[in-house]
Amino acid sequence: MEKRKLISTIRNLQSLRAGGEPDPAWLRSTRERLLSEIRVEAAVSVKPEHSFRERLALARIIFPHRFYRYVAKPIMVSSIALGMALGGWVTTVSASYGTLPGDSLYGFKLATEKAQVTLASGPEAKTKLNVEFVGRRVDEVAKIMENPGTEKAKRVSVAMQQLKQDISTVQSNLDQLKSTQPEKAVEMAKLVDRKAGEFHAALSVSSNNVPDEVKGEIQEAKDLVADASVKAMAILVETRNDGTADISEEDIKERVGGKITSLSEAVTKMAAEAQVSGDGSASSTQAVASGQALEVLGEARELLDHNDLNGAFFKVIEGTELAKAAETLSASVPTVSVAEGSSSSTPSAPLSLPTADSATSTPTLLPETAGSSTPRT
């Protein structure tokens, strides 16, 4: 019986008079049967959810086999391959982090560092990264000498070549920041000045242990690190003079004074070693350079005490030229320790050298020793 017909019958029965009313039990059973049929029809009218197989079949009807073969399938395969490649890349980056020159993944480590610098947002971020990478190269040299292995000279040389590139980039970034963002330049200059002192001291320690054939490269790296330190100091002094950045006179005075102190201590130690070794003309030249450096640094201290910051800083640059000559000779000539009478080739305190432009000039206070600077081995 159709639903509408049943509903009509019920209404007719309800309109009958009492004499023609049907049996109440029949009404109840009929009502229950109608409700049951309505529920069944409502359930059938609800569309069932399609299974994955039905959806796949529908997709094949809509998209022909050619589309699946040449478009959908390659996309799926490429997505899976990309996911696997990215996962493998992350694993490789993690594995390469602790590698050293000569290891199979060291090239990947350097490539990752270059990618980080390329993706960095600006000179400030790039400078921070390059300073971090210089620190890695310094640590690599120390680890190469600590760990057993062969070809240590070659591996140290690789690290030093990369360090030179990184520190040169640091100096370029400082120049760019100074001209575009003086406040950021001051912040980065302080970072470079602080870290350069740490790097120089660590390289001085490592130079005692590296093979003789790479001592010159270590010294070159130390010079570049110190050049970066002086460039950072020059930026601080210039920005204070120009008023382009907020940096106090006391801050500048403290930093210049710190350089005078560290240089004086290092040069004093070198002068004592040269006097004890007495190893011919090279040692004599080292002693002369050390003595003249101490004299100039004394003048720098006097100027600083009279609050002549610019004059003191220029004297520091002059003194570091002489200290550079003395340190180079100290690294190439065996010297005798004052306390133990043992050979020593590197001062314990870090040296700070002048900027890249001034570091290439020959010290003018050593004309009488220019012809006797060849070290004796």
For the residues of 196-254, what is the DSSP string, one character each?
A: HHHHHHHHHHHTTTS-GGGHHHHHHHHHHHHHHHHHHHHHHHHHHHHTSS---HHHHHH
Q: Report the run of H or E that residue 129 belongs to, with start and end.
A: helix 123-146
Full-model pTM:
0.62
- Is the CB of residue 228 less than 8 Å from the CB of residue 170? yes
CA distance 350 to 208: 14
Cα separation, 296 vs 314, in Å, equals 10
Residue 353 · residue 227 · CB < 8 Å: yes
Tell me the three state secondary structure of residue 335: strand
Beta bridge partner(s), residue 343:
336
Partners of 352 in the beta sheet? none
Q: Determine the pLDDT at residue 240.
A: 87
Per-residue pLDDT at 246: 81
Neighbours of 11 (CB within 10 A): 9
Helices (H) and strands (E) in the chain, counts: 14, 2
pLDDT at 361: 39
Residue whose C-alpha is closest to residue 110's, from 90, 85, 130:
130
Contact between residue 270 and residue 347 where contact means Cβ atoms under 8 Å apart: yes
Question: What pLDDT score does 223 carry?
Answer: 87
What is residue 266's predicted lDDT score, i.e. its pLDDT? 83
**CA dist 356 → 201, 230, 317 (Å):** 20, 9, 11
Alpha-carbon gap, residue 144 to 161, rounded angstroms: 15
**CA gap 8, 22 in Å, rounded:** 15
Contacts of 276 (CB under 8 A, 6+ apart): 335, 336, 337, 338, 341
pLDDT truncated to tens, each residue of the chain (377 aa)?
566 766 676 666 566 555 555 667 766 777 777 667 656 555 544 455 556 566 656 666 665 655 555 555 566 555 555 555 545 545 555 666 789 998 888 988 999 999 999 998 888 999 999 999 999 999 999 999 888 777 899 999 999 999 999 999 999 999 999 989 989 999 999 999 999 989 988 998 888 888 888 888 998 898 899 889 889 999 999 988 888 878 888 999 999 999 999 889 888 887 776 666 555 555 677 778 888 889 999 999 999 999 999 999 999 988 888 888 887 776 665 534 434 444 333 333 444 433 334 433 333 333 333 333 333 33
**Residue in 233, 115, 120 with CA at minimum distance from that of residue 171:** 233
